[in-house]
């Protein structure tokens, strides 16, 4: 029997027979006990195993922010996180921002300010905005723009996204224009 280069490559790179790990996560307020292979990313767990498809797979390299979720209130690119590394964590996806039938204030503001066009980046933008608000570091519009710069929008809705976030943060009027060239 002859082996091809493809067979040799497959044998060299086969996944080891590693038993699944038990992971306990609270996702959008719901407890989950999951058996996971150690190489499963949080993004793939959310989308493929739990059917929470609001979190998007963009670049799969942590460069676009489409996969941003909240882990214990902090914004994280879920494509870069192995799910087993977050055992015991509380995860919030875009599906978990709203409560029952009531939209989250950020979701309402995004609608009001037309802070999306195609909508692909919107779930990551929303989770990142909530994480940024949780951090408490944004003091003016320029801070919002800088702190949200890890979330890309191919449609260019950045001004509307910043408008929505600034409204929810209830920044004083003079700080809403700071960093925009308006009112200087």
Each residue of 127-147: pLDDT tens digit? 999 999 999 999 999 999 999
Beta bridge partners, 102, equal: 99
CA neighbor of 91 nearest in space, from 51, 31, 39, 133? 31
In the chain, the domains with their CATH numbers are: 19-96 (3.10.20.30), 101-179 (1.10.150.120)
10, 46 contact by CB (below 8 A):
no
Q: What is the mean pLDDT of the chain?
A: 90
pLDDT digits (tens, 9 = 90+) for 151-178: 999 999 999 999 999 999 997 766 666 6
How far, in Å, are 43, 62, 88 from residue 85 at the CA level? 13, 17, 9
pTM: 0.85
Residue 149 has pLDDT above 50, yes or no: yes
């Amino acid at each position: 029997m002859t082996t091809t280069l493809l067979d040799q490559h497959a044998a060299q790179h086969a996944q080891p027979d590693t038993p699944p790990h038990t992971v306990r996560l609270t996702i959008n307020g719901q407890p989950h006990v999951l058996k996971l292979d150690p190489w499963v990313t949080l993004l793939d767990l959310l989308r493929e195993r739990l059917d929470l498809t609001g979190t998007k797979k963009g670049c799969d390299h942590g460069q676009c922010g489409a996969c941003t979720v909240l882990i214990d209130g902090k914004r994280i690119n879920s494509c870069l996180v192995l799910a087993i590394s977050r055992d015991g964590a509380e995860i919030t996806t875009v599906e978990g921002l709203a409560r029952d039938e009531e939209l989250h204030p950020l979701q309402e503001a995004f609608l009001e300010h037309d802070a999306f066009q195609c909508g692909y980046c919107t779930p990551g933008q929303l989770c990142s905005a909530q994480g940024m608000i949780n951090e408490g570091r944004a003091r003016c519009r320029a801070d919002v723009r800088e702190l949200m710069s890890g979330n890309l929008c191919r449609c260019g809705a950045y001004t509307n996204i910043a408008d929505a976030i600034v409204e929810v943060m209830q920044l004083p009027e003079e700080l809403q224009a700071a960093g925009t060239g308006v009112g200087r």
